[in-house]
Amino acid sequence: MQPMVRLSGVGKTFGDTVAVDAVSLDLEPGKFLTILGPSGCGKTTLLRMIAGFIAPSFGHIEVNGSRIEAVPPWRRSIGMVFQKLALFPHLTAFDNVAYPLRMRRFARSGIAERVERYLDLVRLGGLGERRPHELSGGQQQRVAIARALVFEPDILLLDEPLAALDRKLREDMQLEFRRIQRELGVTTINVTHDQREALVMSDEVMVMHDGRLQQAAPPAETYGRPANRFVAGFLGLTNFLDATVIGRQGDRLVVRIGDVTVEGVGEAPEGAHVAAALRAEKLRLVEPGDSGLVTFPAIVTETVFEGDRILYQVRVPALGDAHLQLFDHDPAGHGRHEPGEAVTIGWSPAHLLLFPD
């Protein structure tokens, strides 16, 4: 299948600064891609190059099989929703949505029907005569989505459009974006630094750091099998321990951490120093009868109640007095442990991920 979007060694420099460093990617038609990374990683610059607002310094961009570097933004079949929605305050919701159709000289006889159809799609039927200040933040978001989609572009670009919303509304709108995207089947590229947003909304997550592509894979793979230490640390709450490879046991490496040896998953030569990564949700408070786990005695140093779970920080003497964080998702069943209490923690060897330093 021909990709809807193909990036081939795309990069951007500003003077001596490399903002985006030779990113290559194929995105299939109808897929939802999220470009995820911290501020300054190059994700917005990459999105703006696809949109045509910035010219690449090198590499090329194809949309639907055609190179578009020389095509001005207004001639690209791309809809865009910005963090600042840029709705026209003096126009109604209907006229905001109709604006791109009028600019593209659509037949006047068909504009009303199409605008109403897209207002219905974003669940704003009957609200077309309201102006932006008469709509809630979530409703304004929906107007912006309808405006970006009404002319049926090849690609929808989302430039952190949910960043300014409160948490509950942001989570609701994540599901709305996904519903609309699936209903229309429009190829979508989203930019965010919100991990949950990336995992919830996307078919594929592309993680960037310092202008470079770190990993591009489905959300479950990106989270469960991170490509390197940066990805493992950026997604989720991850503990890192310094370790040294001392051998191999079957398909696992044997490493020394503090005073003990344990097995983990990764590739590194004997004698190599590696970072041993343990996700907080993969660590457990061990109950009597639990088996198949690597276990160690520990001391609780911090207890944080988070409603549906408790976050513990524990000190583990055998691991060089390492401080680890773990979640207990069943505090009612396990009871609450206070700082100073002795507990036993454990994990499966399959969940200890090893990355070269």
Token representation of residue 218? 């489905």
Task: Tell whether 185 and 243 lie within a shared domain.
Answer: no
Distance of CA 158 to the CA centre of its chain: 13
- Give the domain-ending residue among 166, 200, 231: 231
pTM score of the predicted model: 0.90
d(CA 56, CA 51): 11
Percent of the chain with pLDDT over 90: 81
Q: Are 158 and 183 in contact (CB under 8 A)?
A: no
For the four alpha carbons of 321, 324, 329 and 331, in that order, the dihedral sign comes to positive
Neighbours of 304 (CB within 10 A): 11
Which residues of the chain have a pLDDT value below 50?
A: none
d(CA 272, CA 270): 6
Task: Tell whether 12 and 73 lie within a shared domain.
Answer: yes
Residue 4 confidence (pLDDT): 96
Task: Tell whether 276 and 196 lie within a shared domain.
Answer: no
Task: Tell whether 206 and 347 lie within a shared domain.
Answer: no
- Give the domain-ending residue among 197, 231, 265: 231
Question: For residue 116, what is the domain's CATH number?
Answer: 3.40.50.300
Pairing of strands 78-82, 155-159: parallel
Model pLDDT for residues 26-45, shown as the tens digit of each residue: 999 999 999 999 999 999 99
Q: Are 340 and 330 in contact (CB under 8 A)?
A: no
Task: Tell whether 104 and 247 lie within a shared domain.
Answer: no
**Structural domains counted in the chain:** 2
Task: Tell whether 44 and 189 lie within a shared domain.
Answer: yes
Residue 82 confidence (pLDDT): 86
d(CA 284, CA 288): 12
Model pLDDT for residues 131-170, shown as the tens digit of each residue: 999 999 889 989 999 999 999 999 999 998 888 788 888 8
Question: For residue 319, what is the domain's CATH number?
Answer: 2.40.50.100
Which residue segment(s) compose the domain that 254 sits in? 237-356
Token representation of residue 63? 């949309």
Token representation of residue 111? 């504009």
Q: Are 215 and 228 in contact (CB under 8 A)?
A: yes
Task: Tell whether 225 and 298 lie within a shared domain.
Answer: no
Task: Tell whether 143 and 248 lie within a shared domain.
Answer: no
Find all residues with CB under 8 Å of 95, minimum gap 6, and list them: 88
- Give the domain-ending residue among 210, 231, 252: 231
Residue 162 confidence (pLDDT): 84
Task: Tell whether 201 and 338 lie within a shared domain.
Answer: no
Task: Tell whether 27 and 44 lie within a shared domain.
Answer: yes
Task: Tell whether 130 and 12 lie within a shared domain.
Answer: yes
Beta bridge partners of 328: 310
Task: Tell whether 144 and 244 lie within a shared domain.
Answer: no
